[in-house]
Amino acid sequence: MTSEPVPEPVSEPVAAPASVPPKVTRAQKAAAAKTASVLVEALPYIRRVWGKIVVVKYGGNALAAASEVEGADAQGADGPRAGDGAGSDAAVEALASFAQDVVLMRAVGILPVVVHGGGPQIGELMQRLGKETEFRNGLRVTDADTLDIARMVLVGKVNRDIVSAINVHGPLAVGMSGEDANLITAAPSHADLGFVGNVSVVDPTMLQRLVAEGLIPVVATIGADESGQAYNINADTVAGALAEALEAEKLIFLTDIEGLRVVPDDPTTVIHQASLAVIDEIIRSGGIQGGMMPKVEACVRAVRAGVHRAHILDGRVPHALLLELFTDAGVGTMVMP
Ligand code: ADP
Ligand code: MG
C-alpha cells in the first residue's frame, strides 16, 4: 500500500491578487445570515400562498396617512380628512413601498389583485373646485358633478398613481375601473345618496385573464348599472366582493389604524385574531363605526364565502403586507371562520 504524498503546509500567507474583493467583515456576515434566516422564515408562508390570489385593498387614508392626517376619527366611508392626499413626499414614499411589496408578492408566486379607495383625494379635489360635500350618516351624497369628480380622481389619478408605482419595477400592473369588461355591475345603494352604488354582480373574467397572464390588476371602484350609469362604490365592499368572486386565499385591508379595536377610541383594545362569532359580538356591541364597518362586513362576507383569512392591517407601518404574509409576527387583525 502506498500513501498519497502529503502536501507541504503553506507556511507563508499568500498575498491576495488585486482582483480578490476585500475581506467580508463580521458585521456583513451577520447581516447576510440574518437575511438568510428571514428568507427561511418566509418559506412555509410562501408555500402556503404560492399560486393563490390575494386581494389587497389599499385605503385612501393609508395613502394620505403617510402625509400626517390630523383628527383621524371615524368619518364614514369617504369622510374628508386633513392632509394632502397622495401629493407629499411621505405619501409618495409610502406608495412606492406598497408597490414594492406587491411586486415582491408577485415575484414569489402570489397573485395579487389591488383594489383602492380614494375618499380623501376626492374630498381634496372637491375642495379645490369649490364644491361643497354633503354627508348623510357619514356617507357622501353623490350628485352628477360629484360622481364625475369621484370618477376622475379614482380612475384618472389614484389608479394611475398606483399603476405607475408598481410598473417602475416592470410591466406588471394594469389599471381597471369596475366599468371595464363589466367587472362590477352596480345598483343604487340609498335612495337619497345619489350615485352611490352597491355591488349587484361581479364578473371576474377579465381579472382572471389578467392574473393568468402574470399581471397585477389595479381596480378603481366605479361600477355601472345595465344602462351604463356609473356609481361610486365603497372600495371595502368591492374588495370583499372581488375576493369572494375570485375565490381568493386572502383578503387584506391596508388602512390607517393598527387593527380592529373592540372599543373604537381605545388603542389598547386592538384584537389580533377574531372568529366570525367574536366579530359578530363586537358588531352587536356597537364597537365598529364609520369606515371600519364596511371593512368588517367585507371580511365577514368573504370568510363566510370561503376566503381562507381576512386581515385588517396598518398601512402606515412600512411593509405591513410583507410582515403579515411572510413572517411569524403577524400584524393587525386576522379574521377567520
Ligand atoms: P380607509 O381609507 O382605509 O377605508 P376609513 O377611515 O374608512 O379608512 O376606516 C378606518 C377608520 O375606522 C379608522 O381610522 C378609525 O377611525 C375608524 N374606526 C371606527 N371603528 C373602529 C374600530 N372598532 N376599530 C378601529 N377603527 C375604527
Ligand atoms: Mg374607508
The pLDDT value given to residue 261: 96
The pLDDT value given to residue 228: 97
Question: Is pLDDT above 80 for 239?
Answer: yes
The pLDDT value given to residue 17: 61
Ligand 1 neighbour 74 (Cβ under 6 A) = yes
- Region 271-278: mean pLDDT is 96
Q: What is the pLDDT of residues 56-65, one digit of tens each?
A: 999 877 776 5
CA dist 41 → 184, 233, 330 (Å)? 38, 38, 13
Neighbours of 106 (CB within 10 A): 21
Question: Coil, helix or strand for 311?
Answer: strand
**Any idea which of 67-71, 119-123, 204-208, 287-291 has the lowest mean pLDDT?**
67-71
For the CA of 234, the nearest ligand: 2
Ligand 1 neighbour 264 (Cβ under 6 A) = yes
The continuous run of DSSP H or E covering 309 comes out as strand 309-314
Q: What is the pLDDT of residues 99-143, one digit of tens each?
A: 999 999 999 999 999 999 999 999 999 999 999 988 887 777 999
Residues in Cβ contact with 264 at an 8 Å cutoff, skipping those fewer than 6 apart: 74, 287, 288, 289, 292
Q: Which three cell numbers stand for residue 319?
A: 411593509
Beta strand 230-233 with 222-224: parallel, antiparallel or unpaired? antiparallel
Q: What is the pLDDT of residues 305-322, one digit of tens each?
A: 999 999 999 998 989 999
Ligand 1 neighbour 287 (Cβ under 6 A) = yes
The pLDDT value given to residue 89: 83
Q: What is the pLDDT of residues 247-261, one digit of tens each?
A: 999 999 999 999 999
* % residues pLDDT > 90 (the chain): 73
Q: How confident is the model at residue 74 (pLDDT cuts 50, 70, 90)?
A: very low
Ligand 1 neighbour 105 (Cβ under 6 A) = no
The pLDDT value given to residue 302: 98
Question: Is pLDDT above 60 for 67?
Answer: no
Question: Is pLDDT above 50 for 76?
Answer: no
The pLDDT value given to residue 329: 80
Q: How confident is the model at residue 171 (pLDDT cuts 50, 70, 90)?
A: very high
How many alpha carbons fall within 13 Å on the CB side of residue 9? 1
The pLDDT value given to residue 136: 82
Answer left, alpha or beta for residue 187, where phi above 0 means left and psi between -120 and 50 means alpha: beta
Euclidean distance between CA atoms 33 and 44, whole angstroms: 18
Pocket residue to mutate for ligand 1, from 253, 258, 289, 296, most atoms within 8 A of Cβ: 289
Ligand 1 neighbour 62 (Cβ under 6 A) = yes
For the CA of 293, the nearest ligand: 1
Ligand 1 neighbour 257 (Cβ under 6 A) = yes
| Closest by CA position to 122, among listed 163, 181, 75 | 75
Calculate the average pLDDT of the chain: 88
Question: Coil, helix or strand for 313?
Answer: strand
Determine the atom of ligand 1 nearest the C-alpha atom of 57.
Answer: 3
Determine the atom of ligand 1 nearest the C-alpha atom of 75.
Answer: 6
Read off the pTM. 0.88
For the CA of 233, the nearest ligand: 2
Question: Is pLDDT above 50 for 243?
Answer: yes
Question: Is pLDDT above 90 for 77?
Answer: no
Distance 256 CA to ligand 1 centre (A): 7
Distance 291 CA to ligand 1 centre (A): 5
Question: Coil, helix or strand for 5?
Answer: coil
Ligand 1 neighbour 59 (Cβ under 6 A) = yes
Q: What is the pLDDT of residues 180-236, one digit of tens each?
A: 999 999 999 988 999 999 999 999 999 999 999 999 999 999 999 999 999 999 999
The pLDDT value given to residue 214: 96
Euclidean distance between CA atoms 293 and 80, whole angstroms: 17
Question: Is pLDDT above 70 for 40?
Answer: yes
Is 327 exposed, middle or buried, given 0-12, 13-18 or 19+ CB atoms closer than 10 A? middle
